[in-house]
Structure 1
Amino acid sequence: MAHVRTLGAIALLATVTLTACAGGDESGDATPSGSTTAAPTAEADGTLTLYSGREEELIQPLLDQFTSETGIEVEVRYAGTTELAALLQEEGDATPADVFLSQDAGALGAVSKAGLFTTLPAEIADTVAAGFTSTDASWVGVTGRARVLAYDSEALTADEVPSSVLDLAEPEWAGKVGIAPSNASFQSFVTALRVLEGEDVAREWLEGLVAGGAQIYPKNTAILEAVQAGEIQIGLINHYYWFRALAEQGEGAMRAQLSFPEAGDAGSIVNVTGAGLLSGAANDADALEFIEYLVSDAGQQYFVDQTFEYPLAGDVTAPEGLPALDTLTNPELDLSDLDTLGETTALLTETGLL
């Protein structure tokens, strides 16, 4: 039955109030630099404004589900994650957004670094295990998405697919690789490459792709379609695009197959989608309830069933056929280090990919 307000969000805000009055918790954790702590007064008017870097096709059904269950209306602005992160930094405290739902951790880190998020209550921030969320409670991870190589099974065997993405810049793969430089997930991957291997290695790899005539696509879906059609032999995508296509077309129709880069490789990162509460909405119970919903069992099950992503909270089971999440994570990479998005886009521009 629809209702205007659940007790969960109000209780969460009450917890923040008590913590603030007590002068901090026993762990001694400080408010993250550049962030504000959620205000003690819970205000609810039955609406919230969402900036979504995730596609309308994927997210609108979830928003409809949330509204149906809570009675809270969501006014949403859809655009690319990188575009919205830049817009939020331009708008600053004047932004109309209450919540930013991002396609990747890098954009969330950049917005957090700009001091635009408020600190989330522990009841939300601690829902997701360390390694898949922020280290300072400025944003919370919502789903996990593994970077994979989609390959043309009619042109390559599984053993012929490189185990490292760095190999794709070698001459033997010239003209056979597809990438999406303007896509937020690709940009976060390049950021991870910079963090793990250094600027010089990242630049050399990108230059190698350019010299080899890597095929440029606007997004992951187009890359997968190109592999499926035999236009390219390998494409860098997120895992769930393939699983969505599998559900729609069936195993027999899947010429494209998946290969997971070896653990520890820069190409094997598990990035996350995530959400942050803008500072101007620190006392907005509607916005806080929405973020709480994203990491609830209902929200997590939606992403498993509809987008085939890894759940990060609750007792929800990952989609069938996916490797265990802990076999893909790179212990050398902290997702908080993906906040240097500006440096990555500058490098992509310098190498002619943007």
Structure 2
Amino acid sequence: MMRKLLLTLLLSVSSTALAAETLTVYSGRNEKLVGPLLKKFTEKTGIEVKVRYGETPQLAATLLEEGDKTPADVFFAQDAGALGALGNAGRLQALPKATLDKVDARFRSPTGLWVGTSGRARVVAYNTKKVKPADLPKSILGFTDAKWKGRLGWAPTNASFQAFVTALRLLKGDEAATAWLKGIQANEPRVYKNNAAVVEALGRGEIDAGFVNHYYLYAAKKSNAELPVANYFVAAGDPGALVNVAGVGILQGTKQVDNAHKFAAFLLEPEAQTYFSQETYEYPLVKGVKTAEALPSLAKVGSPDLDLSRLDDLRGTVKLLQDTGVL
């Protein structure tokens, strides 16, 4: 009887220890992009990662709805706006100073609630057989010119595009953002489901230029190195030069605080930062990790001065897109 009781207790302790070494992550980052990296985290730490993948805005909405009852310990988001929304709602807890200090202040929460893990620049991708760099305007605002009629492509339902529109609203005002959206609409752009589809259309010569994140070009060129598409960076400081970040935040109420801190710290270690640089062609945010050779430096890109947490007004941006007929 005593032996049976001891065995039961041992099994109970083992089960509790196993559960304590499991981290639940809600990931707005695509499994193909970050799945291998999360496996490396488990291999390095022994902490199992249970992942729920989905679109960043939808996962953020789910976390807000779940509140204190969420099973999530960590939110690994595709953009800063979603993290800002959760922070404003009191759903994130402060990260350790040692983790925050690894990243430049402009790429992390000013209140320490989230930290950027990699940078994602907005660019104008263009077909190199049909357009010369000299033909492209220095500002994203220049694409409302009638000479671009029937030549543009965009993905208005894409979260990164909507984050850019939010930045445009913050930097230039709603009136200017409305004018830009209406101006692009007047040029009859082709609509695509995502950034990848825009780059593919450029490769086919279906459009001459399109608004995307910088790294989609390099993903496409992995399967077709001869793709006649290149990235164009508008002038530094322009709204079209926005550098948003993927980032991580730790949920309030998690019982896995130490393991969650380990996860956030891991994403900023040289191994993970090099993975973002060399495998996904994103910008590493930690000093000492080299940017992919094909990319201009972050300093040269010159992202406009903007608190990325303020990109949280997705609802206002969606309403604007609807009011202008974009959505």
Distance 1:208 1:254 in 2: 29
Q: Which residue of 1 aligns with 2:121?
A: 146
Q: Work out whether 1:195 is the aligned partner of 2:182.
A: no
Pairs within 5 Å for 1:31-110: 45-110=20-85
1:117-176 per-residue CA deviation (whole Å, 9 max, x = no partner) reads 001111111111111111111000100111111001111111112221112223221221
Q: Which residue of 1 aligns with 2:179?
A: 204
1:201-252 per-residue CA deviation (whole Å, 9 max, x = no partner) reads 10111122223221111111111001111111111111111122334432xx
TM-score with structure 1 setting the length: 0.84
Secondary structure of residue in 2 paired with 1:281: coil
Distance 2:326 2:50 in 1: 34
Secondary structure of residue in 1 paired with 2:124: strand
Q: Which residue of 2 aligns with 1:240?
A: 215
Distance 2:19 2:296 in 1: 41
Task: Compute the displacement of 1:321 (Å).
Answer: 2.0
Q: Which residue of 2 aligns with 1:264?
A: 237
1:178-201 per-residue CA deviation (whole Å, 9 max, x = no partner) reads 111111111111111001110001
- Opposite residue 49 of structure 1, the aligned amino acid is T
Q: Which residue of 1 aligns with 2:11?
A: none
Secondary structure of residue in 2 paired with 1:303: helix
Please identify runs of 4+ aligned residues in structure 1 that moved more than 3 A: none
Larger Rg: 2
Is residue 44–residue 286 contact of structure 1 (8 Å, CA) maintained in 2? no
- Opposite residue 199 of structure 1, the aligned amino acid is D
Distance 2:307 2:24 in 1: 30
Task: Compute the displacement of 1:44 (Å).
Answer: 7.4
Q: Which residue of 1 aligns with 2:311?
A: 338
Q: Which residue of 1 aligns with 2:6?
A: none
Distance 2:223 2:187 in 1: 33
Q: Work out whether 1:317 is the aligned partner of 2:290.
A: yes
Secondary structure of residue in 2 paired with 1:203: helix
Deviates more, 1:81-90 or 1:270-279: 81-90
Distance 2:97 2:214 in 1: 30
Identity of aligned residues (%): 47
Secondary structure of residue in 1 paired with 2:220: helix
- Opposite residue 268 of structure 1, the aligned amino acid is A
- Opposite residue 232 of structure 1, the aligned amino acid is I
- Opposite residue 249 of structure 1, the aligned amino acid is N
- Opposite residue 96 of structure 1, the aligned amino acid is P
Distance 2:305 2:103 in 1: 19
- Opposite residue 252 of structure 2, the aligned amino acid is S
Distance 1:176 1:107 in 2: 32
Is residue 106–residue 336 contact of structure 1 (8 Å, CA) maintained in 2? yes
Q: Work out whether 1:303 is the aligned partner of 2:276.
A: yes
Is residue 93–residue 252 contact of structure 2 (8 Å, CA) maintained in 1? yes
Q: Work out whether 1:160 is the aligned partner of 2:135.
A: yes
Stretches of structure 1 lacking an aligned partner (at least 5 in a row): 1-42
Stretches of structure 2 lacking an aligned partner (at least 5 in a row): 1-17
Deviates more, 1:203-212 or 1:302-311: 203-212
The alignment covers a number of residue pairs equal to 310
- The root-mean-square deviation of aligned C-alpha atoms, in Å, is 1.6
Distance 2:255 2:107 in 1: 23
Distance 1:331 1:151, change over 3 A: closer
Please point out which of 239, 246, 249 is paired with 1:273.
246
Please point out which of 263, 272, 285 is paired with 1:290.
263
Q: Work out whether 1:347 is the aligned partner of 2:311.
A: no
Task: Compute the displacement of 1:284 (Å).
Answer: 2.5
Is residue 297–residue 314 contact of structure 1 (8 Å, CA) maintained in 2? no
Task: Compute the displacement of 1:283 (Å).
Answer: 4.8
1:260-318 per-residue CA deviation (whole Å, 9 max, x = no partner) reads 01111110011111010010226522222111111111111111121011111142111
Is residue 84–residue 312 contact of structure 2 (8 Å, CA) maintained in 1? yes
Please point out which of 310, 320, 329 is paired with 2:302.
329
Task: Compute the displacement of 1:92 (Å).
Answer: 1.6
Distance 2:160 2:88 in 1: 19
Distance 1:331 1:190, change over 3 A: closer
Q: Which residue of 1 aligns with 2:91?
A: 116
Q: Which residue of 1 aligns with 2:15?
A: none
Is residue 23–residue 256 contact of structure 2 (8 Å, CA) maintained in 1? no
